[in-house]
Chains A and B, each alone.
Chain A
Amino acid sequence: MNRRNFLTLTGTFTGGTLLLPDFLHAFGAQKSLVIGEQCLVFIQLNGGNDGLNTFIPFEDALYYDLRPKIALSKDEVISKNKGMAFHPALKSFATMQQNGDLTVIQNVGYPEPNRSHFRSQEIWQTASSSNQYLNEGWLGRYLDLQCKEHQPTAGVNFDSIDNLSLKGNEPNSITVKDPSRFKMRTDSDDTVKLSDNPQLDFVRKIANSVSEGSEEIQKALAKSTAEIAYPKTGLSKNLEWISRLIKGNLNSKVYYTSLGGFDTHDNQLAIQQRIFTELNDALFTFYTDLKKAQLLQNVTIVVFSEFGRRVKDNGKGTDHGTAAPMFVIGGNNKGKIMGNNPNLSDLDNGDLKYEVDFRSVYASLLQNKMNFDPAKIGIKNNPLNGLF
């Protein structure tokens, strides 16, 4: 990405300040506390991850009372600390916490929670209130104001389909299915057969090469190498690409990817074990990779889900709930456990009451990491103090 077109606010942009709109002008003149190119990496856990079996109140008798079939025993949980402990599959989360690189923010949610996946994701992705309907994502709005002209790689979404979070007025983001196929078509591609329909094949090959910014991505990939072996899972692959783009200086502000399968109405123990292992291994490899490259302080990784799950189990699973912990890794966060332990005795219709509004976490990310006033995109919540 062309740096001159992006107001990084790091003092490199001086020559053209007179041409800036007023509201950015004020920022351009501000001295920055942020050092180096910062970026945010979001990992969205689709389906509503059960927070209580992720970061576990293992000393709370109510936890065992309410979850007779799926509670994890004191002997299983790991990295015990002030009544809370990690799911055994999240052993590297514990390591990152012990290294001081991971913050757990407890009881994150929002007022009047919506228990529909669809709607709750929409709320998280637009940072709207519960009764407000926005058609542009919070990151899309942020990039609209931060990019002087549209910058196709200001946000990169690794998924098979576009993401509402990054949708803005201008096309400042792209969705990448598989960057290795993300290149200009060459004649040799003609021999690759994707389907039985030659016309469809042809269009698919073009579609793979299509996107503004594909050249920048290719350049960044060419400049970086894979120095560490990632596990062979979908999430790992995406994080590996993100790492290569960061190391290759693509200079995107936001990377986004997701992991599905968290909708554990049944068979929760087995599902979480498997899916947490994938999350844990992928994330820890990514973390190690960035740390080795001495980039972890510039990269803030955020792990969240659209909601937590019902406190009481429904047998072998759990139904849709509300508040859940959110994880922040890297970016010089303080590495703490923030907020009270979940209060299982004071519930709202069987669900946890939120204590931290997710938008105050967003506000903190924008304010502290991006040096951007969250009010400009309609986030009025105060930044969460003490995260960075």
Chain B
Amino acid sequence: MNSNTLWSLRLGFSGKQSKAIEKLGLPKFLEQSYVAPFDTKIPELLNNSPKSIEEFRAKRKELKSSNPDTLKELVIKEAKVSQEMKAWWIDKMITDEFPLREKMVCFWHNHFVCTFQKVKVNYWIYQHNQILREDAFGNFKSLAKKIVKSNAMVRYLDNVDNKKDKINENLSRELLELFTLGIGNYTEDDIKNGAKGLAGLNLGEDQAQYRRFIEDNDSITYLGKTGNFKIDEMIDIIFEQKAIPYLLTRKILKWFIYDNPSEELVQYYGDYFRKVNFEMKPLLTKIFTEEFAKKNAGSKIKDPLVYILQLTNELNIEKMNSKLLVFYLKQQGMDLLNQPNVKGWNGGKEWLSSQVYLQRNNAADLLCNGKNLTRRQMNTDNEMMNETRNALVNISLQWDKKGNNKKIIAELTDRLLFQTDENLQKDFETLLKYDFNPNSEGANNAVLRLFNAIVKTPEYQLI
């Protein structure tokens, strides 16, 4: 596989940036990705959703006094808004000239998990997502502070129920276990005491805030230090711990390159991460530029997002309905803004099961035949003939008409498969024989059939 294409897939969601990486070189491409502008406007889909605490309270009142039917309607309406938000996000991933920021937003969103299902307020989910966008390449420590103080997070991890004399440990535990140090690097007492420090951190206007009457101002001992610590001091202490850089560097390596990164690499980049004070840009630049030079293609099973966006990009499907993509991702076990639990998607082998692989192949078959991913009722004059059919989509595949069969196979495999071998080559030459005429009328369909076969291989599932 062409290494620029490989890295376009790794740093984005398709092969679309391959040319830019080749032209700019990776370091420049990264620089431009870091400074590329991004959307800060509140999306229109949130126009009718409550935003301030006051609006939210009014809404809650309204809900309480509504009869069950209106209540149901309102709930369905907000669930629809959530679907729209997912589509809004996918559109960014598809259209951004430098999608690395959205790739990082998605990484963070799978690190600091918050789901709409639990939080139930779309605006807070949006705020959470937007913090991740603004700080995508920022500082891990300051991002951790912002996120733990988001309304979405205090609700998601039940800190709204964490009060003096009625402690709820959920946020305190995940802060150490999943967000920062990782299991084995703290004690149960740290969790208990941390929960006291977090008690009273509750919903606020723009972000969470401590409430005077329910906070706990006792002195606590946290990771060896004693004092009256609140969330910011607690995070400062966490970031003094020896173990702090490794959980995140391991996750970064897993998200971008290796399903199973070696502990040496984790240690190596982790030490550097500490040295640069948990700044993301230098860490990412170091990892990407050093790993770019290595032969490590095929180390990671594609997540559903890359799988489907690469496919629609290759087929140049322009008017793909993003909501369909949202639904497809859900089927594939990657429902955005809705991970199954606070641990997030584990990725790796968990992305693929027989069922998921079959769905991938079905999607490939449909799209390669110019059919959309869902079926809809087709009405014909003959009532007997009513049946569901797939709507059609325009597809076009780029390939060089000047090539012979081997050149076309090489062109496609170079941008689609991390490796190929004699057996695959033989299969592909069965589909596109040596006397294939690239200028014949049916040539395009024949190359599409080849493409279809390529994207169903096990090799295509890896980057």
- Chain A interface residues (CB < 8 Å from chain B): 19-22, 25, 46, 116-119, 121-122, 133-135, 160-162, 164, 167, 171, 184-185, 197-200, 202-204, 206-207, 209-212, 260
Tell me if B's interface is mostly helix, strand, loop or mixed. helix
Chain B min CB distance to A19 (Å)? 8
Which of A20, A46, A133 is close to B442, meaning CB atoms less than 8 Å apart?
Answer: A133
Q: Which residues of B contact A260 (CB under 8 A)?
A: 430
Binary per-residue interface labels of chain B (427-463) against chain A in the complex, 1 for a CB within 8 Å, 0 otherwise: 1101111111100111001100100110001110110
Which of A25, A46, A117, A200 is close to B298, meaning CB atoms less than 8 Å apart?
Answer: A200
Is A184 a contact of B462 with CB atoms below 8 Å?
no
Is B436 a contact of A116 with CB atoms below 8 Å?
yes
- With contacts A197-B298, A212-B358 taken as known, whether A206 is within 8 angstroms of B440 at the C-beta atoms is no
Chain A min CB distance to B333 (Å)? 14
- With contacts A21-B384, A161-B430, A203-B301 taken as known, whether A210 is within 8 angstroms of B361 at the C-beta atoms is yes
Is B362 a contact of A22 with CB atoms below 8 Å?
no
The reply on B414 being an interface residue by CB < 8 A is: no
Q: Which residues of B contact A22 (CB under 8 A)?
A: 382, 384-385
Query: What 7 A-B pairs have minimum CB-CB distances, sorted nearest first?
Result: A133-B442, A118-B433, A203-B458, A116-B435, A161-B427, A118-B436, A207-B458
The reply on B354 being an interface residue by CB < 8 A is: yes
Q: Which residues of B contact A185 (CB under 8 A)?
A: 354
Is B427 a contact of A118 with CB atoms below 8 Å?
no
Q: Which residues of A contact B458 (CB under 8 A)?
A: 200, 203-204, 206-207
Measured between alpha carbons, how far is A164 from B244 in the docked complex, in Å? 56
Number of A-B contacts (CB under 8 A): 102
Q: Which residues of A contact B301 (CB under 8 A)?
A: 199, 202-203
Q: Which residues of A contact B19 (CB under 8 A)?
A: none
Is A135 a contact of B433 with CB atoms below 8 Å?
no
Q: Which residues of B contact A46 (CB under 8 A)?
A: 430
Measured between alpha carbons, how far is A211 from B361 in the docked complex, in Å? 9
Is A203 a contact of B352 with CB atoms below 8 Å?
yes
Chain B min CB distance to A243 (Å)? 24
Q: Which residues of A contact B428 (CB under 8 A)?
A: 161
Q: Which of B352-373 contact A (CB under 8 A)?
A: 352-354, 357-358, 361-362, 365, 369
Q: Which residues of A contact B440 (CB under 8 A)?
A: 119, 133
Q: Which residues of B contact A25 (CB under 8 A)?
A: 384
Which of A116, A164, A171 is close to B437, meaning CB atoms less than 8 Å apart?
Answer: A116
Is B365 a contact of A171 with CB atoms below 8 Å?
yes
Which of A133, A167, A203 is close to B441, meaning CB atoms less than 8 Å apart?
Answer: A133
Q: Which of B376-412 contact A (CB under 8 A)?
A: 382, 384-385, 405
Q: Which residues of B contact A207 (CB under 8 A)?
A: 357, 457-458
Is B354 a contact of A206 with CB atoms below 8 Å?
yes
Q: Which residues of B contact A202 (CB under 8 A)?
A: 301, 349, 352
**Quick one: closest B residue to A202, CB to CB?**
B349
Is B357 a contact of A161 with CB atoms below 8 Å?
no
Chain B interfacial residues counted at CB < 8 A: 46
Is A203 a contact of B453 with CB atoms below 8 Å?
no
Q: Which residues of B contact A199 (CB under 8 A)?
A: 259-260, 298-301, 348-349, 462
- With contacts A118-B437, A206-B352, A209-B354 taken as known, whether A161 is within 8 angstroms of B459 at the C-beta atoms is no
Q: Which residues of B contact A21 (CB under 8 A)?
A: 382, 384-385
7 chain-A/chain-B pairs, Cβ below 8 angstroms = A19-B384, A21-B382, A118-B432, A118-B446, A184-B354, A200-B298, A206-B353
Most buried by B among A20, A22, A25: A22
Q: Which residues of B contact A116 (CB under 8 A)?
A: 433, 435-437
**Quick one: closest A residue to B384, CB to CB?**
A21
Measured between alpha carbons, how far is A203 from B382 in the docked complex, in Å? 45
**Quick one: closest B residue to A134, CB to CB?**
B442
Chain B min CB distance to A70 (Å)? 22
Chain A min CB distance to B371 (Å)? 9
Measured between alpha carbons, how far is A25 from B423 in the docked complex, in Å? 46
Chain A min CB distance to B361 (Å)? 7
Apart from the given pairs A117-B435, A135-B445, A206-B354, 16 other A-B contacts in the complex at a CB distance below 8 Å: A19-B384, A116-B433, A118-B435, A118-B436, A118-B446, A133-B441, A161-B427, A161-B453, A197-B462, A199-B299, A200-B462, A202-B352, A203-B461, A204-B458, A206-B458, A260-B430
Measured between alpha carbons, how far is A202 from B405 in the docked complex, in Å? 30
Is B445 a contact of A133 with CB atoms below 8 Å?
yes
**Quick one: closest B residue to A159, CB to CB?**
B430
Q: Which residues of A contact B436 (CB under 8 A)?
A: 116, 118
Is B431 a contact of A20 with CB atoms below 8 Å?
no
Measured between alpha carbons, how far is A171 from B363 in the docked complex, in Å? 12
Is B449 a contact of A164 with CB atoms below 8 Å?
yes
Measured between alpha carbons, how far is A162 from B446 in the docked complex, in Å? 12
Measured between alpha carbons, how far is A96 from B453 in the docked complex, in Å? 38
Is B437 a contact of A162 with CB atoms below 8 Å?
no
Chain A min CB distance to B397 (Å)? 13
Q: Which residues of B contact A204 (CB under 8 A)?
A: 458
Chain B min CB distance to A380 (Å)? 20
- With contacts A116-B436, A171-B362 taken as known, whether A203 is within 8 angstroms of B462 at the C-beta atoms is yes
Which of B365, B431, B445 is close to A161, meaning CB atoms less than 8 Å apart?
Answer: B431
**Quick one: closest B residue to A306, CB to CB?**
B433
Measured between alpha carbons, how far is A19 from B382 in the docked complex, in Å? 12
Chain A min CB distance to B182 (Å)? 23
Q: Which residues of A contact B442 (CB under 8 A)?
A: 119, 122, 133-135
Is A160 a contact of B354 with CB atoms below 8 Å?
no
Measured between alpha carbons, how far is A189 from B246 in the docked complex, in Å? 33
Chain B min CB distance to A29 (Å)? 14
